[in-house]
Amino acid sequence: MADVAEKERRILVAVDEGEESMYALSWCLGNVVSSKDTLILVYVKPPKAVYMPLDGTGRSQSSSGYMFSSDLYATMENYSNEVANSVIEKAKNKCRDVLQEQDVKVETRIENGDPRDVICHLVEQLGAHILVMGSRGYGLIKRAFLGSVSNHCAQNVNCPVLIVKKPKTNNGSK
């Protein structure tokens, strides 16, 4: 058992804008991460929505495939990058505050695509020993329509998956 604790582990933590993912990161830092581990913080920018022209021809009105002007598209892309960088920076600061002098390496990744597929691919590609994710707690109905990233990953990766659920507050809200 001591050999397992001394080995370097690669812990992939999926982060997003939600409180749940930051709670999962905090929980992971306090309960899972130990010296010599590598913590990999991953933010996945969801795919851009493609809007087809309303003329019914199926042809794109612009060369980019979007109905937006290139300026508007660039603004949307810049905002998406700012959000991603902000989330990663917040997560890195949380790691810095908690880990301080520990010998834990923190890496960051910002990827594009469907979070379910990208996270599963990264777990395999990076050789993660454990995947840590937050749970939004949508419930059965919302999860059926929106899907569950954590459920998909738990079913499709070849390492342990730790899904951390943020506790309810005393007033009954999350």
CA–CA gap between residue 128 and residue 11 (Å, rounded): 6
Sequence ranges of the domains in the chain:
2-47+84-165
Tokens 């590598």 label which residue? 38
Q: Is the pLDDT of residue 94 over 80?
A: yes
86 or 65: which carries more pLDDT confidence? 86
- Given pLDDT bands bounded at 50, 70 and 90, which one contains residue 111? very high
Among candidates 122, 119, 133, 120, which has minimal Cα distance to 166?
A: 133
Architecture of domain 2-47+84-165 in this structure: 3-Layer(aba) Sandwich (3.40)
Kindly report, residue by residue over 121-170, the tens digit of the pLDDT. 999 999 999 999 998 755 554 444 445 888 889 999 999 999 998 888 76
**Predicted local confidence at residue 65, as pLDDT:** 52
| Segment 30-42 mean pLDDT | 93
**Predicted local confidence at residue 35, as pLDDT:** 86
In the chain, what's the furthest Cα-to-Cα distance?
A: 67
Residue 111 exposed, middle or buried by CB count within 10 Å (0-12, 13-18, 19+): middle
Alpha helical stretches, state H, the chain: 2-6, 19-31, 70-99, 115-126, 140-146, 149-156
Among candidates 29, 49, 31, which has minimal Cα distance to 39?
A: 29
Q: Which helix (H) or strand (E) holds 161?
A: strand 161-165
Reported pTM: 0.79
| Segment 12-23 mean pLDDT | 94
Q: Is the pLDDT of residue 52 over 50?
A: yes
| Segment 53-68 mean pLDDT | 53
- Given pLDDT bands bounded at 50, 70 and 90, which one contains residue 74? confident
- Given pLDDT bands bounded at 50, 70 and 90, which one contains residue 7? confident
Alpha helical stretches, state H, 18-69: 19-31
CA–CA gap between residue 147 and residue 117 (Å, rounded): 12
Q: What is the dihedral of CA 46, 80, 173, 115, to 10 degrees?
A: 20
SS3 21: helix
